[in-house]
Amino acid sequence: MFIKDFINKKDKVFVKFIFYYFKVLGTATISFNTESTKSRKRNEWKFTHSKSSIMYNIGLIIFVTTVSSFGFIYASFQHQTNFKKFERVTDRAEDVFNILSVTIIMMMFCFKYKNMAGIANKMSMIYQSLISSCPQTLYKSFTDNILLHIILIISPYIIIWPFIIVFNFINFPEFEIYNFTIFMNDIVITALLMHYSTVLILLKYFFKMFNVRLSFMLEEQDYLCEIQYLNCNNRSKGKIKELFHMRKLYASLYEVSQDVSSFYSGPMFLCIFKILVSATLSLYYVAKPIIIDSHTILNVEIIRNSMFGLIYATALLIFTTLVTQTARESVKTREITNRCIINFENKYIIKELSQFSTFLLQADVTFTVYGFFSLNQSLLTSMTASMTTYLVIILQFQQNN
């Protein structure tokens, strides 16, 4: 018990750090309480909407919009000798789109605070159900893996962003104010991807824990029926109840997964479109000196845009990989169930497994943007094709001029 209490304290410290990091960046408009009470289980965390967080987000929206607008006006009146008119116009258009995207995304988090609290509470209850009969060693293994996975997801941003910021302030001192506004908007966008990625990590391990529990329960049943034939019927009745409980638990997992997909659809639509536009322009500034053989773009400008392209690519690669892995874990549940239907001889257990298998065929876990396109790794292929097409069009337009 002492070890589990220690793990819980360690979890709380880390989760609070991540939670308040997202809160500062405007992507968490809820609050949570980890204090145990008589009516609340030790590990259960209660999430509620927070008026102070909403007010903070409103203040952050005003601050970001004001500073970004000032940076936009400042850059518009700066004379950039190494930039053509087309490049100045596209840069300013990108700035306007960035300001609008970040503002709308943070407003969405303000308006949908009840949905966020509801999703967080559902995930907390699912977590409690999953660990209720989980062995202490397995519980420690899963919690450690979740924390390690989250740290690995956040690390690239912590490493790349400071390097980009320092590089830009050293090499572009005349654009310090403008660079500050760019970083502020892009950090909010990457925070959204980190926020969604963190939720996906939790869902992925929830499905993994569910599969471990399901496999253990069904394998135990098969073993006991072989060595204790007389008690097999009584044990089977208990296992049928457990299977029914597991089916309800999976239904909750599926429901919260679709809630997550629906909640992030709006912000992700703007996020993906923003990254597509910004990454295409970054590629243009990198490819232009090579394709058109122009000397108007400085080497530091190429490095700068390459770094922005790197952070966009890293963010999307991490995110789409997690979407694919989470969906794959849900498919494993169907494979385990179908395998056990073949192995079991008890008709009541087979009936329960068949019903579960039928439900699994209908409960396809996907993460999409309003159902228009999936957020799995196929998104990278689509975006790469789109960016290549737009890049060729822009370069041809520049060559013709």
Task: Kindly tell me if the per-residue pLDDT of 192 is higher than 80.
Answer: yes
Total-model pTM: 0.85
Q: Say how many C-beta atoms besides its own lie within 10 A of residue 44's C-beta.
A: 16
224: confidence class by pLDDT, cuts 50, 70, 90: very low
Q: How many CA atoms, within 13 angstroms, populate the side-chain half-sphere of residue 349? A: 25
Q: What does the pLDDT read at residue 38? A: 45
Q: What is the mean pLDDT of the chain?
A: 79
- Cα-based distances in Å from 289 to 151, 172, 284, 304: 38, 20, 9, 14
Q: How far apart are CA 59 and CA 53, in angstroms?
A: 10
Q: How many helices (H) and strands (E) does the chain have?
A: 10, 4
- Cα-based distances in Å from 110 to 49, 54, 105, 190: 10, 6, 9, 18
Q: What does the pLDDT read at residue 40? A: 47
Are 90 and 217 a contacting pair, CB within 8 Å?
A: no
Joined tokens for residue 23 = 């809160």
Mean pLDDT of 106-123: 87
Q: Using CB atoms within 10 A of its CB, is residue 135 exposed (0-12), middle (13-18) or buried (19+)? A: exposed
Q: What does the pLDDT read at residue 294? A: 56
341: confidence class by pLDDT, cuts 50, 70, 90: confident
Q: What does the pLDDT read at residue 134? A: 65
The residue type at 314: T
List the single range of 133-142, 266-275, 284-293 with lowest mean pLDDT: 133-142
For residue 77, the SS3 value is coil
327: confidence class by pLDDT, cuts 50, 70, 90: very high
Q: Cα angle at 83 between 81 and 84, to 5 degrees?
A: 110
68-79 confidence digits (pLDDT tens): 888 778 777 765
Q: How far apart are CA 252 and CA 382, in angstroms?
A: 32
Joined tokens for residue 17 = 């750090």
Among the residues of 25-135, which ranges form H helices? 51-76, 85-111, 113-131
Closest CA to 345 of 226, 181, 168, 211: 226
Q: Where are the domains of the chain?
A: 1-400
Strands 373-374 and 368-369: antiparallel
Q: What does the pLDDT read at residue 90? A: 84
Q: What does the pLDDT read at residue 69? A: 82
Mean pLDDT of 375-381: 92
Closest CA to 222 of 339, 331, 333, 139: 339
List, in sequence order, every residue forming a beta bridge with 48; answer none if it has no partner. 31
Task: Kindly tell me if the per-residue pLDDT of 5 is higher than 60.
Answer: no
Distance of CA 320 to the CA centre of its chain: 9
